[in-house]
């Protein structure tokens, strides 16, 4: 593991961006959010990208963005929830750093995202079913690639960050 990047993965609403931002300040590492990088580059929000070009185009943007960001050694990268849908992304993350999986239960996830816009893969009619299916589909991948799994459902952001820091210290990553 040459570049020692900390990748934060998990479903939408798990807190990847907010945890990543605070963690980067605490351990003084640069922070990148793949979704935000894509939004800046395309000058469109995620929903607009999905509507205009489709999911495959977005997944390719994720891959290209991750490929570039991996050169930022000793950084923290918050990924999109679907980053694990492409094997090439998994390869990049497993070869270039430590993967932290922010696990979240469906009930907590629902309460965090129910009023949020810009969630193109969700049908508000069947929100709980959509989230459950997404969790069923992706959790096994997240768990199989993660170096550290933390259930964020009942924890505050700061408790989650403290636990991640303890893990990183134990593993001599920071």
Residue pLDDT, tens place only, 42-96: 999 999 999 999 999 999 999 999 999 999 999 999 999 999 999 999 999 999 9
Mean pLDDT of 142-146: 98
> Which one-letter DSSP state was computed for residue 72?
S
- Length of the chain measured in residues: 174
The span from the CA of 170 to the CA of 163, in Å, is 11
Q: Which residue range(s) make up the domain with 48?
A: 5-170
The pTM is what?
0.95
Three-state DSSP class for 127? helix
101 backbone dihedrals φ, ψ, rounded to 5°: -100, 115
Token pair, residue 47, equals 């929903």
Q: Compute the distance between CA of residue 157 and CA of residue 155 in angstroms, rounded to an integer.
A: 6
Q: What is the pLDDT of residue 171?
A: 93
Residue 27 burial class via C-beta count within 10 angstroms: exposed 0-12, middle 13-18, buried 19 and up: middle
d(CA 166, CA 174): 10
The fraction of the chain above a pLDDT of 90, given in percent, is 84
| Pairwise CA distance, residues 170 & 76, whole Å | 18
Residue 122: CATH number of its domain: 3.40.50.300
How many domains does the chain contain in total?
1
Residue 40 has pLDDT above 90, yes or no: yes
């Amino acid at each position: 593991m040459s570049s020692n990047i900390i990748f934060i993965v998990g479903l939408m609403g798990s807190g990847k961006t907010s945890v990543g931002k605070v963690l980067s300040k605490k351990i003084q590492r640069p922070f990148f959010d793949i979704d935000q990088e894509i939004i800046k580059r395309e000058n469109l929000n995620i929903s607009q990208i999905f509507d205009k070009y489709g999911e495959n185009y977005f997944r390719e943007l994720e891959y290209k963005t991750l490929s570039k960001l991996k050169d930022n050694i000793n950084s923290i990268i918050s990924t999109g929830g679907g980053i694990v849908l492409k094997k090439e992304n998994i390869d990049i993350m497993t070869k270039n750093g430590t993967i932290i999986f922010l696990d979240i239960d469906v009930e907590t996830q629902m309460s965090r995202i129910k009023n949020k816009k810009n969630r193109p893969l969700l049908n508000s009619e069947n929100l709980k079913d959509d989230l459950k299916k997404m969790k069923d589909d992706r959790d096994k991948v997240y768990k199989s690639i993660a170096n550290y799994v933390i259930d964020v459902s009942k924890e505050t952001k700061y408790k989650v960050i403290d636990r991640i820091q303890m893990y990183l210290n134990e593993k001599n990553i920071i």
